[in-house]
Structure 1
Amino acid sequence: MSTKNTIVRDATERYLKERRESGESRGAFETEIKRLGGTPRIETQVRRSPAPAEVAEILGTSDAETVVRARHMYNGDQLVQLADSYVPLDVAEAAGIENPDPGLGGIISRMAEAGFSQTEVIEEVVQYPATRVEADAFGVEEGSLLMQITHTGRTADGRAVEVTVHRPGPGWLLRFSTPLT
């Protein structure tokens, strides 16, 4: 498959510190867009609110407040992804991630510095029909199938410290690699 204008989301290495911080990036997305030769731009709104039920269950927070980082992610002027990250309040406060600019390497680097290193990442991918808002944002027909990637980052003791719901628009390639030994 040609990947000339495709955004490649390579789960094999995207969460490695060297990759997230490559070229002064603020996280894996910036690195991916820069590798494509594009111009990454992220609009971030940060708020405190309870997570949706399915996210709260993963985080083990029931109806407790979380820090939500709601992002519109662009390649130049083109919206290419919507992503909402949910972080337990104690982790967010310790890592200082309520600033819209997460700094070098993004929130995963801030969490590691605060003692919440992610040692396991689980990503679940499903298709779903685009809502009217998503269809308008991505320039597709309402009901068109889009992907949703639910990312869960866990610490060595198994605690979920981040759940991010990624909704990429058309034109993404997901790459996964599994060691066989």
Structure 2
Amino acid sequence: MASNTVDANGTITRDARSRYRTAQREESGAHGAFEAETKRSGATPRSEVEVSRSAAPAEIAELLGVAASDEVVVRARRMFVGERLVQLADSYIPGFVAEAAPAVAQLDTGVGGIISRMSEAGLAQDSVFEDVEQRPATAEQAEALGVQPGDQLLTITHTGVTQDGRIVEVTRHTLGPGWKLRFEVPLA
């Protein structure tokens, strides 16, 4: 079973091959993929969460298919392995999802996290796509992650899509130093 791991040097390998499957996200009562994977690797996960409603950045609004002025639920998370901040993850959830699954706007979204709450509301993510790119650290990101402003950081923009093609979530993960990404592509 593919899983994120944290090695003796603290390198986190994010294994995208199965992290969003329900059994993986909900394992041992975890509140999402990051918590389940971190625990599975023997480390201690912790998240600080802020929830608000505001307009999404223009590029995120475009991915969500909403107007730049539309209010969305924003879940801003600081994610730790032990006491080390390893990523910033900001999730943007359109209004129709928050209406159908109000728990996505709560601090504690329960076992499996927001993906499980969406599924329970009939908005299961049938597929996801993730764009990985380098972006310059903002002053705020640099201070939080212990790098210099402008340093290139890996970002993952995760977009969750229902079977009928509705986008129900866009999450921008900004990774601190010490990450390795693993993907698998079927060739047949």
Partner of 1:131: 138
Structure 1 contact 117–155 (Cα < 8 Å) conserved: yes
2:87 equivalent in structure 1: 81
Instruction: Choose between structure 1 and 2 for higher RCO, CA contacts under 8 A separated by at least 6 residues.
Output: 1
Q: Secondary structure at the match of 1:149?
A: strand
Report Cα offsets for 1:47-83 as digits up to 9, x if no partner.
1111111111111111211111011111121111101
Shift of 1:171: 1.1
Match of 1:7 among 7, 12, 18: 12
Query: TM-score, length-normalised on structure 2?
Result: 0.91
- On the 8 A contact 1:7/1:36 being kept in 2, the answer is no
Separation in 1 of the partners of 2:82 and 2:155? 22
| Equivalence map 1:1-181=2 (5 Å) | 4=7, 5-62=10-67, 63-96=69-102, 97-181=104-188
SS in 1 for 2:105: coil
Q: What CA deviation, in whole Å up to 9, does each residue of 1:19-45 have, x standing for no partner?
A: 101121100110221133211111111
- Matched residue type, 1:117: A
* Structure 1 residues without counterparts, runs of 5 or longer: none
Q: Distance in 2 between matches of 1:36 and 1:179?
A: 26
Residue pair 1:8, 1:32 contacting (<8 A) in 2 also: no
The superposition leaves residues 65-105 of structure 1 with CA deviations (integer Å, 9 ceiling, x where unpaired) of 11110111111211111011001112112112111111101
- SS state of the match for residue 119, structure 1? strand
Which contiguous aligned blocks of 4+ residues in structure 1 show a shift greater than 4 angstroms? Answer: none
The percentage of aligned residue pairs carrying the same residue is 57
In 1, Cα distance between the equivalents of 2:12 and 2:24?
A: 15
Bigger Cα displacement from structure 2, 65-74 vs 140-149: 140-149
Q: Distance in 1 between matches of 2:65 and 2:143?
A: 34
The CA deviation at 1:133 is 2.1
In angstroms, what is the RMSD of aligned CA positions?
Answer: 1.4
Paired residues of 1:149 and 1:166 also in contact (CA < 8 A):
yes
User: Size of the alignment, in residue pairs?
Assistant: 180
Match of 2:125, SS state, is: coil
Further displaced range: 87-96 or 130-139: 130-139
> What is the TM-score of this pair, normalised by structure 1?
0.94
Show structure 2 runs of 5+ residues with no match: none
CA distance in 2: counterparts of 1:131 and 1:106, whole angstroms: 27
Distance 1:39 1:177 in 2: 27
> What residue identity is the alignment partner of 1:66?
V
In 2, the alpha carbon distance for the partners of 1:139 and 1:178 equals 33
